[in-house]
Structure 1
Amino acid sequence: MTILLTGATGFLGSHLLHRLLELKYEVVILKRSTSNIWRIDSVLSKVKSYDIDKVAIEKPFEDQKIDAVIHTVTNYGRNNSSISNIVDTNLMFSLKLLETATFFNTDTFFNTDTFFNTDTLLYKYLNHYSLSKKQFVEWLKYFSDRIKVVNLKLEHMYGPKDDNTKFVTWITNQMLQNVESVDLTEGIQKRDFIYIDDVVDVYLLMLEKSKIFQAFSEFDVGTGDQIELKEFILKIYKEISKIKPISTKLNFGAKAYREGEFMEIEEDVKPLFDLGWKPKISIEDGIKLIIKEAIQ
């Protein structure tokens, strides 16, 4: 099977790429000529790569038969991205990719819809991101009579090699650097934190099961266990304190909740569990792994 992977230089995409290659999939990736390849430089020679800012999006489909597209590229609104840039990536580019895959008779299009509501550093872009993603899902449904679509709605994934702007990485680094204090909300909002390896396992399972899916399928991807943000942060603090002295003061309640803050997440992981998947990495083990990677 030949897979076209977008977002291969990003957090999720890079972890997916490494695992797909381990399993001997043929992988074609789309990136930009300016993309930072530090996450995948060790395996770049093993894939066929196209710089999408230099070649037409049809080129990889013309050069080889693409059996499935795994679409992970996302613009959250970092680096002062304009609304038009967010929409251009999350909707217009995605729609062009979907349209092209359909034209070339690709069998399955796996779409990624990530949840990052804990990420206070990006909150002002949440509505722009969410709207662009919701609009693309409507197009996925529209095209699903011509190409099989699987939409994966990811809960709060975390793990090694994530961006420093992501909440889990950021708060971990604040404590590892032993900053004087960190202002936080009260922290009783609940989130479903899922380790990156477990997320990758979901994609691999979806590839294996793709033939049984209907025209449009959608899955919530999470552990099914929600934890208060305060408890999650304190678990990180506890693990760091086992390794090095830490005196960072965590000022829970110093910041107000955002307007419209979700205190719990609505998710239904039963359809995913029914396919035979279950998370393997506990929160405690996941935290140990991200700390280990951060101090190396």
Structure 2
Amino acid sequence: MRVLVTGATGFLGSHLVKALLAEGHEVYILKRKTSDCSRLATVLHEIECFDLEHVEIEGMFRDIGPLDAVIHTATSYARNQESYHATLEANVSMPLQVLEGAIRCGTPLFMNTDTFSNTAQGIFQRLVGYHLTKRHFLEWGKHLAAQSSLRFVNLKLEHLYGPADSPEKFIPYIVRTCLENQPDLYLTPGEQMRDFIHVRDAVDAYLLLLRQSKLFTASFCEFQVGSGVATSIKSLVREVHRLTESATTLHFGALPYPSQEMMHSLADVEPLRRYGWRSQVPLREGLLTVIEEHRSRISAK
């Protein structure tokens, strides 16, 4: 298939691009001129890149020619005090241009990356620009798909983790703290339940739905993407602590829960299973992939 990927230089997007290439797909990516392409260094010669600042979206679609799918993974979390206007541009205006271009050029499938936290009013109080704009684009996707022949598939990801993730994310932070044997790690009581899904399993879900996309008859459908197992934050941190043989002292309860914290999240993966998908990476095995990556980085210093 011929596939355009947005957010290809990011954590999920880079894993997707490599998996698509490994399956023999023809891959195009839309990125920013300033994007860090290091995650794609080994495969950049196999893909055609378009810089958002130098390309007109509809012209890009004409230049590429007929596509089988767009996989949209680009997002702004607005964690660095970006303005709401900038977040709106990244999470609504840009993907909306891509979606409209795909429709005008007859692309049959648009796969959108969404988040489990968008179902929770509590989480919505944090990263408000991120959650508002993700919801806003989803509504545009539903509306435009209903007015066209394009099928809009929404993938609601649970807590994604794995190698090459951003260092400020929760699991990389915990792993790094434990590996470095920092004296103390201050945490909430850790009773929140989360569905941790390894990036390898998430990518398998995208590829499966891409292969099965001709079976979708509705203009819009949605899949929750998780392991189907809920694990407490406390259990996860203790497992990382054990696997790293860390001397760090864990202080559960030293920090309060964030206001209106989501205490339980678990994906309903039965719809995915009906298409033949199964989670293949147990949490312990997945954590070890992150630990080994960070251990190698520390050793290389």
TM-score range, shorter chain: over 0.9
* Conserved 8 A contact 1:116-1:156: no
Give distance in 2, aligned partners of 1:75 and 1:160: 20
* Conserved 8 A contact 2:116-2:265: no
What displacement does 1:27 show?
0.4
How big is each residue's C-alpha offset from its partner over 1:125-184, in whole Å with a ceiling of 9 and x where there is no partner? 522211111111111110112111100000001000000111111111111111111111
Gaps of 5+ in 2: 297-301
What displacement does 1:59 show?
2.8
How big is each residue's C-alpha offset from its partner over 1:92-120, in whole Å with a ceiling of 9 and x where there is no partner? 11111111111111010000013469xxx
Aligned length: 288
What displacement does 1:273 show?
1.4
Give distance in 2, aligned partners of 1:31 and 1:229: 34
Match of residue 166 from structure 2: 163
Which TM-score applies when normalising by structure 2?
0.92
Gaps of 5+ in 1: none
Give distance in 2, aligned partners of 1:189 and 1:165: 19
Q: Aligned ranges for residues 175-214 of structure 1 at < 5 Å?
A: 175-213=178-216, 214=218
Match of residue 256 from structure 2: 256
How big is each residue's C-alpha offset from its partner over 1:194-218, in whole Å with a ceiling of 9 and x where there is no partner? 0000000000001111011121010
Q: Which of 130, 140, 151 matches 1:148?
A: 151
Secondary structure of residue in 2 paired with 1:59: helix
Taking only aligned residues, the RMSD between alpha carbons, in angstroms, comes to 1.5
Does 2:30 align with 1:30? yes
Alpha carbons of 1:266 and 1:192: their partners in 2 closer, same or farther (altered >3 Å)?
A: closer
Match of residue 45 from structure 1: 45
Alpha carbons of 1:211 and 1:90: their partners in 2 closer, same or farther (altered >3 Å)?
A: same
Does 2:144 align with 1:174? no
Q: Aligned ranges for residues 116-131 of structure 1 at < 5 Å?
A: 125-131=126-132
How big is each residue's C-alpha offset from its partner over 1:209-243, in whole Å with a ceiling of 9 and x where there is no partner? 101112101000011110000001111111000xx
Amino acid corresponding to residue 166 of structure 2 in structure 1: D
Q: What is the aligned-residue identity percentage?
A: 42
How big is each residue's C-alpha offset from its partner over 1:21-73, in whole Å with a ceiling of 9 and x where there is no partner? 01110000011111111100111110111011111112321112122100000
Amino acid corresponding to residue 179 of structure 1 in structure 2: Q
Match of residue 219 from structure 1: 223
* Conserved 8 A contact 2:158-2:266: no
Match of residue 233 from structure 1: 237
Match of residue 58 from structure 2: 58
How big is each residue's C-alpha offset from its partner over 1:240-266, in whole Å with a ceiling of 9 and x where there is no partner? 00xxxx221111001111111111115
Amino acid corresponding to residue 26 of structure 2 in structure 1: E
Match of residue 81 from structure 1: 82
Give distance in 2, aligned partners of 1:34 and 1:61: 22
Which TM-score applies when normalising by structure 1?
0.94
Q: Aligned ranges for residues 84-99 of structure 1 at < 5 Å?
A: 84-99=85-100
Give distance in 1, aligned partners of 2:222 and 2:174: 31
Give distance in 2, aligned partners of 1:199 and 1:212: 20
